[in-house]
Amino acid sequence: MSVQSELKAPILLLQSRHPDDIMLNHEIECIREHLGPGITLHPHNAINSPFAPNELSRFAGVVFGGSGDCSVIDPHNQPWVTPLLRVLERTLEENLPGFGLCFGHQLLGKALGASVATDPQRAESGTIEFNLTPAGRQDPLFKPLPSPFPAHTGHSDSVMDLPRGVTLLATSQQLTTQAFRVDGAPFFSTQFHPDLTGLQAQKRYLAYQEQLPRGNRKPNEDLFTPLADQATGILRRFGQWVVREQNHLSPSPPVA
């Protein structure tokens, strides 16, 4: 039986991007690709309209996506960030498989009581090295990775401290709070982007640079490393796990 025929419900992608964000569809395409074949992805943009938490029962899992230029802590964003936090909290309450990507990682940190701040000293951009923690070396989604492993990232906001109720899975030289697993819940998050290859990350970075006034651009053709894409396996293993969980085939995320 194929994965597609086994899939009983789609995965919800909650985006936090302005309607005119030129990378809105690119994010959908990349997440769909790296979740793996046979998974139906249902996008919903939280900036356009709030998502009703009681609709979560229609989905097999939730991905909280990244954001082009939106911040979890910007007061102007709270009219849509606050309802999105309620959806994340309901996801945890219902033990629904979830994954937070970049902005979604910061949203999880905020929901669990951590400080999120714009800190230039912890900002990162490009392909950098990450280290697995002892727990990361044992985690089914992360342990197939070497340590250190390369991944692609770009953020100015950071989760400044380890939130309550999570297990730390990965760190970097500039930021220790790079990846979490929520204790007692099937929810993971990463500050970096397992939804992007190096080429996809470079495409997104350059697209945003083209939108800036010429004097503010910082073009860098070598910021992201092609083929340093092992971290995309994290998202694929998450997708495989969601499919298997729907069909009661596995009590925990798969190793390979």
Contact 170, 190 (CB under 8 A): yes
Q: Is the pTM of this model over 0.75?
A: yes
Mean pLDDT of the chain, nearest integer = 90
Residues of the chain with pLDDT under 50: 1-5, 255-256
In a domain, 82, yes or no: yes
Domain residue limits at 229: 3-246
Burial group, residue 246, by CB count within 10 angstroms (0-12, 13-18, 19+): middle
Nearest to 240, CA basis, from 5, 38, 9: 38
Residues 185-237: pLDDT tens digits? 999 999 999 999 999 999 998 888 876 566 555 666 679 999 999 999 999 99
In a domain, 121, yes or no: yes
In a domain, 254, yes or no: no
CATH at residue 115: 3.40.50.880
- For the chain, how many structural domains are there in total? 1
In a domain, 85, yes or no: yes
Q: Give the pLDDT of residue 220.
A: 66
Q: Give the pLDDT of residue 256.
A: 38
SS3 63: strand
